[in-house]
Amino acid sequence: MIVVSKITKSFGSRLVLDDISFEARPGESLFILGKSGVGKSVLLKLIVGLIASDQGSISVGGQKVDVENPRLLAQVRRKCGLVFQFPALLDSATVFENIAFGLRARGLVEDPNLIEPRVFEQMRTVDLDTSFLNSYPNQLSYVAQKKVSIARTLAVSPDYLLFDEPTTGMDPVATAVLNELLKKLKRELNVTTIVVSHDIKSALACADRLILIDHGKIVFDGEPKNFKSSNVPLAIDFREGVSLGK
């Protein structure tokens, strides 16, 4: 369970998140929607302790996220996997080394011979051509890079999976693969996932629950079926796919 409690975060004089509270229950697939720039990426980075909040607290699996305490923070991070908004692949390493990175760094595989099958398995999971194994990230298309980035995170089998706009910039086939993957993770592995997105179609297809953020506040928190009938102006905008410039 991830519990976010009364989180406030400003950059300089700009208040980005204003007293945000929510929780992601075990095995739940939670989608957080909001327009570009509302602080969705910031929220995910707060959860894994890459940045510190001004106020409030966050706990992951009962453990407090404390950026001042590197040892505890490392424990929290071991349970989490974050797929960044942009691929963030090590560009001096091959696709194989990128996907194997977390397995090695976290010491998850004792027998080095077992790393390769795990890497192949993840490549198949994200529908990535295994001929890319020894390519470098800059030789790959953006979509393929993003798939590598997802495979790299899945490889460490995290209990909590955080996705930052996984479908943004993806083609329709890759989006469908990803939506299937999200459903499968929930069905088979009971992974708790938080997906930050503005892809309302994916959200309605995969989410157990939806949260909508606007101007630093949560303006909607509920199931997809309630979202479809919500009167919140931003919910209507998202449903109709238009911004009325409000």
Binding residues for Mg ion (CB under 5 A):
41, 85
Strand ranges of the sheet holding 63-64, from the earlier edge strand across to the other edge: 14-24, 2-11, 55-60, 63-64
Comparing C-alpha atoms, which of 85, 76, 36 is closest to residue 58? 76
The DSSP annotation for 110-133 comes to: SSGGGHHHHHHHHHHHTT--GGGT
Q: Are 71 and 127 in contact (CB under 8 A)?
A: no
Residue 48: which of ligand ADP, Mg ion, other proteins, none does it interact with, CB under 5 to 8 A by kind?
Answer: other proteins
Site map 169..208 versus other proteins, x via CB under 8 A:
----------------------------------------
- Using CB under 8 A as the binding rule, whether residue 136 contacts other proteins is answered as no
Q: Which does 34 bind (CB under 5 to 8 A by kind): other proteins, ligand ADP, Mg ion, none?
A: ligand ADP
Q: Select from 2, 30, 156, 235 the one that contacts other proteins (CB under 8 A).
A: 156
Question: Using CB under 6 A, which of 20, 34, 81, 220 touches ligand ADP?
Answer: 34
Alpha-carbon span 119 to 17, nearest angstrom: 37
Give the one residue of 30, 32, 46, 80 binding other proteins; rule: CB under 8 A. Answer: 80
- Distance between the two ends of the chain, CA-based, in angstroms? 34
241 is an interface residue for ligand ADP by CB under 6 A: no
* Least CB distance to ligand ADP at residue 16 (A): 4
